[in-house]
Amino acid sequence: MKPEQLSAETQKKLDELLTAVEKVLATKPSPHLHAVSESSMPDGATPNDVLKGGSIKAPSKPPFDYDEPSVGNLHRAVLQSGDGVLFGLIIHAERPSPEGKWTLTTKLVSRQERRQLESSRKAIDDEVERELRRLTEKAGWQRVSFGRDMPKKQPRLVRDSGSGLERLDPDPRLLALLGRAEVLYRQAGFDLIVADWTLRSGGLTFREYVE
């Protein structure tokens, strides 16, 4: 989704958020050349709906020093403004040197685009579930997890049988499915940083973090 597709009200609130993020980054010195501020609201219809994200993240220590609730509230205002078309947004900030000026760019995802992405990923989820179910024959199993559960980590496969975690070697089929998911998100304009599938008796869940 492009910024010009937003309502005038949402564009105004997005500008306020961008101004606040830029001010935070420029106010206090830091060694960082990159920062990300992302958020999403799966529901977003009422003031009490959960805001995911909403902070300004540094790529390493030290973290940025700022008033986190105020920036989070601006994220919430953007996502709940206008006709509620937005599902999430990602702000990337870059500068050439610690003394350089920050440049901000924004990625937007509408609720319709989000539904389409989840629908396109379902075939991958189904195949991952079939692969993980092959590992549930051991008595007492509680969960089986596969994927990249933290940024920059190698994919891992874990089974919890109640007596402790077993670390298994990921099957090439699982690794290929992770690759397909990364391509799918990349085609939608996002980097899939965290992608973690967990199978329990109640079914499969998926946890993600994108930039």
Cβ contacts of 95 within 8 Å, gap of 6 or more: 33, 101, 102, 103
- What is the spatial distance between Cα 39 and Cα 50, in angstroms, rounded to a whole number? 10
Exposure of 192 in the CB half-sphere (CA atoms within 13 A): 23
Which one, of 144, 177, 147, 138, lies nearest residue 160 by Cα?
A: 144
Alpha helices, H only, the chain: 8-27, 68-79, 111-133, 172-187
Q: What is the per-residue pLDDT across 58-77, written as a single tens digit (0 to 9) for each?
A: 999 999 999 999 999 999 99
> 153: helix, coil or strand?
coil
Domains of the chain: 3-101 (no CATH), 114-210 (3.30.500.20)
pLDDT score at 181: 98
| H/E run at residue 105 | strand 103-110
pLDDT score at 90: 98
Q: What is the per-residue pLDDT across 24-40, written as a single tens digit (0 to 9) for each?
A: 999 989 999 999 999 99
Give the global pTM.
Answer: 0.91
Signed CA dihedral, 133, 134, 137, 138: sign only: negative
pLDDT score at 47: 77
pLDDT score at 82: 76
Q: What is the per-residue pLDDT across 163-176, written as a single tens digit (0 to 9) for each?
A: 889 999 999 999 99
pLDDT score at 79: 95
Q: Which residues of the chain have pLDDT under 70?
A: none
pLDDT score at 48: 80
Which one, of 6, 102, 21, lies nearest residue 57 by Cα?
A: 21
- Helix, strand, coil percentages (3-state) for the chain, rounded to 5, are 35, 30, 35
- What is the spatial distance between Cα 40 and Cα 193, in angstroms, rounded to a whole number? 16
